Structure 1
Amino acid sequence: MTAPYSGTPFPLTASFQLPRRIVNLSGLPASSGPGAPAPCSILMIVSGGSGSIEVDGNQHVLTAGSMLCCSSSLPLSLNAQFSLQGVWIEYTSVTRPGDADASPLNNSGLHSSAPAAICSLACRLLQKWNEPSEDNPFAVQLLFTELLAGLYKLHTQIIHPQEHWLDHILQYIDGHYNEDLTRSQLAELAQVSPEHFSRTFRKATGRSFSEYLTLQRIRRVQQRLLTETQSLSTLALEVGYSEGTYLSRKFKQVVGVSPAVYHRKAKRIASLNFNHTASLRALEIVPELGVYSGWMKQLELVPAYPGLRAEGTNGTDLYRSVAAAKPDVIISYTLPGGREQLLPVAPVIELPYMQMGWREQFTAIADITGRKLRAEEWLSRYDELCCRYNRELDRLIGPRGTAVAWEVGGAAAYCYSSSYGHGSQILYGDLGFSPPAALLEQGLLGHGYLETAIEHLPDYNADHIFITSGPSTPAGHERFSSMLHSPRWQTLAAVRNNRVYLVDQTEMFYGFDPLSSLAQLNTLMQSIRSQIYMGHDHIRP
């Protein structure tokens, strides 16, 4: 990371940070500043597009990953005219009497490459800000605090990089665990003495370097045993041991059973994402610990026994729950910094989001759990249903044309590519519709999603328009209703041809898994049938 203007170490105060305004950068007018009515602190995180910003008289280029943390008293001028996407946050500090009234991040400056996890967290915060939930009224505060904590840690590493050599060493071990690593070699790489290396390493990880390296190697072997059958000699060479007998001895020391027993036994599973929990339930597996969505609760898919946590559980509490469940394997999306924390508990299988569709994730989980045949049977029935629905659509509407599925929030609307789900995997994958040209021009496929103001929905004309989620706030309802009454909306071909479908099943369409996809497929088909056969469910003012 580079900082174009110098920052000073931040003060340690007992301040509490409260968000006042959270907006998408694409919604800010070109050449605008924060426009804050009173002094506050600014966070800007760019997730896509390009633009520029003038900070204290200096011009800087903004691209994906650019990040600004400063006080609103600093002269700012943002040029967002080049489809700049990201999050602009204005927040205030509440302090104890006598403490400095400032955010700990105010002096951290402008940086060029915020981690993907920070960008993703900022986007989630924006969505929760625009769509407050009565079921989880503290979601915004929790996400905002998590974002500040991540930025605080990141800035600490930037201004004191020599104090964070351990993070680099752990990353090095993660990529070179199968090599002949020694304490002296890594101490030299960290530019510290072997003694200081050992003390710091054990304090941070709870293990000596050799114990940690052994644990890394055995977890990799466990991962291989979950999906493949390999000789111990082959596995030993792959992870850095000379022969299989030694690997078997080390494996039993760490896991408690031999590799053969571990390979055969029924696995206790912890699922840290509700999509993966749904995949397990489609395979008729109840995890020892699983994250469940509200929609899955409505279907009564949540077992009655204790130890299960719901979606939105605080990360630290969830990790404690995982350890208490004593799983044989943990399944999750990529966990920034979390895999190392869970390493002592069990091997972590990370299924990369957006890089794997729900079918690929479902198949991978079936391989891990030994239910490959059951997954193939499930997918075969699903594909037969898709074929039947496509024959029905051939009769009802003929050539598919274009379609878009919108989730309408309090201030903005969102649509997604098929790699993100939200019903798009059904429309563009299973049912043969295409995204409208306006979405492709805005880079939908590259970014994975598009956010736009509610009033701009008529800009994205499609032959079929689905509203899978309606506004959750009075202000959102008012804006949405005004848009529906607008002449531009009324002139759309989809409106005139009675091909706008109100679905409004937010939680169902949030899922990206076998059970949610099946429900989304049936719901979309029922919406189309209802519109054609009854002709009174379309959206008109």
Structure 2
Amino acid sequence: MLTSATTNTRLSAAAHCFYMPIRVEKLNAISLCGNQDEVQHDACMIIVWGGTGTLCVNGHEHQMSRGSVFLGDAAPQPHLYWQPGATLRGIVIEYCCISNDASGTRGLDHSVPIHRCPAAIMRLAGELEIIWREPQLGGPFRLQQIFTELLTELHKELTSRQEPSNSWIEQALCYMEAHYREELTREQMADRSDVSPEHFSRMFRKYTGRTFNAYLTLLRIRSAQRQLLTGISNLHVLAQEVGYKEGAYLSRKFKESVGLSPTHYQRKKKRIAALNLNHTASLLALGITPEIGVYTPWLERRQNTPGKIQMLDPYVSTPAAYYEAVASSHPDVIISYNTAVENKSLLPLAPVVELPFMTMSWRDQFRLLADIVERREHAEEWLLRYDDLVSSINEQLDRQLGDRGTAIVWEVCQNAAYCFSSSYGRGCQILYDDLGFRMPEQLMEEGIASKGFVEATIEAIANYPADYIFITDLPSCADGQQQIHKLFESARWKVLEAVQQKQVYILNDAELFYGYDPLSSLAQLHELVQVLGGTHHNNTK
């Protein structure tokens, strides 16, 4: 039995650290100036979610942009300032670190800024800034909860970057993914990696969970599955495509890995995991409900297949939880964009069909998915009805508007505004590709065609004239609302031709305009035609 003295001793032996934010403010050119004496005993962090600039840390210059984070400890306090011309947007957080045994603690510290941090860190930082300014939101403990989550994510990111490098294994995997069709041996790969074959095998299995030969077979069989899904059915040709000499051998390895022959796999009704909104919606348009899919509330309401749907949240899950969620659907096929970093880790589950991001139109993505689920005729009929509708609408707009002129679509967020090319959707695929509106020359000069979007401050929206201006989303926070109100009251905004001609349309329906798929495109088409026809109420006050 523990005595009171023993209990007190054991309790006091447990030292814990606690972290508390004491100042949170928006990042600007003066955030780091003139306050060095005030924060000598506090740690700080700078999180950037937009713009570019140079941060000077103890005399050393560091370029900062979206996704950059600086972590400074309280001892010794770093000397920080911005170089002139910085346009950075983000947040500065000062926080204190205490311990229950008075031993003193340190904040998160990193000698140089870290870059390309996950979106979860940006999201938490933005939410923290809102709650700091409006503490009535979210209840009395929400601020502390968000700050703890932010510290946790930052600590995980730092830890992952400080783990011993496995660069030679990663390079070997990249080489195998590019050359699996060729004859590859463990000895060849060990020689390329400059390690012994034995060390290569040991470390390769530790890193991947598979032997070299098993991983090579996985790459080849997954490739064979993808090609069966998209049209190749001749086994001899398919064997040559994936690195085997004959179809019979491919068939045997295929059945060992998949549990079915290639022919039976090709004919089987597939369980599909759709890892983004656009492909979920494309499947729904084909009458297919994926085993697991990404839904917005808008798309969930449009889902007309009875039964409970399994929804995947691609933004907040840890990699392990994300993998388990996809695995729970037991997919035969996984559909994703080729830019998704999770694709490689999902390879053990099923073939990942990667669709090109920004280089394949929503129509072509729709057709490819239709081929996979054997509903190409259904897709072509759907597209024919859509194109007939577009043709009819254009005849109406020819009478009503004549020459379409230029149009620009803005999505206004908390701290920035974005306009897009048709490859990003947001209604631009309708305006530019279907209805004959033109993109303003200024956007072309700023390289929107190559990167798909242009980022600007909310105030700078007035610097982009167009004959028609569409705003698909407005900020929900008080500060963002003040900025948009200030824009609408500014002289530069009021002299725009679109404003004077009452050709500014406030749609404020981000869920609807986020999609780049058949269902979203059809709904966006109806919404845009409605406002152009004057039946939608517009107000920039």
Normalised to the residue count of structure 1, the TM-score between the two structures is 0.81
After superposition, residues 484-495 of structure 1 pair within 5 angstroms as 484-495=488-499
Shift in Å at residue 540 of structure 1?
4.6
Q: Quick check: 1:277–1:287 contact (8 Å CA) kept in 2? A: yes
* CA distance in 1: counterparts of 2:239 and 2:89, whole angstroms: 46
Q: Percent identity?
A: 41
* CA distance in 1: counterparts of 2:92 and 2:25, whole angstroms: 5
Secondary structure at the counterpart of residue 110 of structure 2:
coil
Shift in Å at residue 334 of structure 1?
3.2
Matched, 1:226 2:225: no
Q: Quick check: 1:31–1:79 contact (8 Å CA) kept in 2? A: no
Q: Quick check: 2:292–2:309 contact (8 Å CA) kept in 1? A: no
Matched, 1:319 2:323: yes
Secondary structure at the counterpart of residue 309 of structure 1:
coil
Matched, 1:539 2:539: yes
Q: Quick check: 1:296–1:302 contact (8 Å CA) kept in 2? A: no
Shift in Å at residue 96 of structure 1?
5.6
Q: Report what 2:3 is aligned to.
A: none
Q: Report what 1:405 is aligned to.
A: 409
Q: Quick check: 2:120–2:316 contact (8 Å CA) kept in 1? A: no
Q: Report what 1:480 is aligned to.
A: 484
* CA distance in 2: counterparts of 1:46 and 1:502, whole angstroms: 25
After superposition, residues 105-124 of structure 1 pair within 5 angstroms as 106-107=110-111, 109=112, 118=117
- Residue-by-residue CA offset, 1:463-495 (whole Å, 9 max, x unaligned): 111121122123322332232223332222212
Is the deviation greater in 180-189 or in 305-314?
305-314
Residue 175 of structure 1, aligned match among 173, 178, 194: 178
* CA distance in 1: counterparts of 2:409 and 2:174, whole angstroms: 40
Matched, 1:518 2:519: no
After superposition, residues 270-281 of structure 1 pair within 5 angstroms as 270-281=273-284
Shift in Å at residue 64 of structure 1?
7.7
What stretches of structure 1 of length at least 5 have no aligned partner? 1-12
**Residue type of the partner of 2:72?**
S
Matched, 1:377 2:381: yes
Q: Report what 1:9 is aligned to.
A: none
Matched, 1:268 2:271: yes
Shift in Å at residue 124 of structure 1?
6.6
Shift in Å at residue 351 of structure 1?
1.6
Larger CA Rg, structure 1 vs 2: 2
Secondary structure at the counterpart of residue 290 of structure 1:
coil
How many residues align? The count is 507
Q: Report what 1:71 is aligned to.
A: 72
Q: Quick check: 1:32–1:79 contact (8 Å CA) kept in 2? A: no
Q: Report what 1:8 is aligned to.
A: none
Residue 189 of structure 2, aligned match among 181, 186, 190: 186
Shift in Å at residue 235 of structure 1?
1.9
- Residue-by-residue CA offset, 1:55-101 (whole Å, 9 max, x unaligned): 432446x498995644274334434748x678676575867655742
Q: Report what 1:247 is aligned to.
A: 250
Q: Quick check: 2:339–2:357 contact (8 Å CA) kept in 1? A: no
After superposition, residues 83-482 of structure 1 pair within 5 angstroms as 90=93, 92=95, 97=100, 98=103, 100-103=105-108, 106-107=110-111, 109=112, 118=117, 149-150=156-157, 152-153=159-160, 155-156=161-162, 160-161=164-165, 163-301=166-304, 304-305=307-308, 307-310=310-313, 312=315, 314-315=317-318, 316-334=320-338, 337-482=341-486
Q: Quick check: 1:292–1:302 contact (8 Å CA) kept in 2? A: no
Is the deviation greater in 118-127 or in 450-459?
118-127
Compared with structure 1, are the counterparts of its residues 362 and 454 closer, same or farther at alpha carbon in structure 2 (3 Å cutoff)? same
Compared with structure 1, are the counterparts of its residues 307 and 440 closer, same or farther at alpha carbon in structure 2 (3 Å cutoff)? closer
* CA distance in 2: counterparts of 1:143 and 1:513, whole angstroms: 34
**Residue type of the partner of 2:299?**
M
* CA distance in 2: counterparts of 1:22 and 1:199, whole angstroms: 50
**Residue type of the partner of 2:174?**
Q
Q: Quick check: 1:274–1:311 contact (8 Å CA) kept in 2? A: no
RMSD between superposed Cα atoms in Å: 3.7
Compared with structure 1, are the counterparts of its residues 131 and 395 closer, same or farther at alpha carbon in structure 2 (3 Å cutoff)? farther
Shift in Å at residue 220 of structure 1?
0.6
Matched, 1:499 2:503: yes
Compared with structure 1, are the counterparts of its residues 540 and 274 closer, same or farther at alpha carbon in structure 2 (3 Å cutoff)? closer
Q: Quick check: 2:48–2:64 contact (8 Å CA) kept in 1? A: no
* CA distance in 2: counterparts of 1:54 and 1:102, whole angstroms: 20
* CA distance in 1: counterparts of 2:152 and 2:305, whole angstroms: 29
Query: RCO greater where, 1 or 2, for CA within 8 Å and sep 6 or more?
Result: 1
What stretches of structure 2 of length at least 5 have no aligned partner? 1-15, 132-136
Q: Quick check: 2:273–2:333 contact (8 Å CA) kept in 1? A: yes
* CA distance in 1: counterparts of 2:300 and 2:120, whole angstroms: 25
* CA distance in 2: counterparts of 1:255 and 1:423, whole angstroms: 41
* CA distance in 1: counterparts of 2:35 and 2:231, whole angstroms: 58
Compared with structure 1, are the counterparts of its residues 527 and 45 closer, same or farther at alpha carbon in structure 2 (3 Å cutoff)? same
Compared with structure 1, are the counterparts of its residues 198 and 18 closer, same or farther at alpha carbon in structure 2 (3 Å cutoff)? farther
Shift in Å at residue 502 of structure 1?
1.9
Q: Report what 1:57 is aligned to.
A: 59
Is the deviation greater in 303-312 or in 167-176?
303-312
Q: Quick check: 2:45–2:94 contact (8 Å CA) kept in 1? A: yes
Compared with structure 1, are the counterparts of its residues 166 and 303 closer, same or farther at alpha carbon in structure 2 (3 Å cutoff)? farther
- Residue-by-residue CA offset, 1:185-216 (whole Å, 9 max, x unaligned): 32333333333332332233222221111111
Q: Report what 1:5 is aligned to.
A: none
Secondary structure at the counterpart of residue 270 of structure 1:
strand
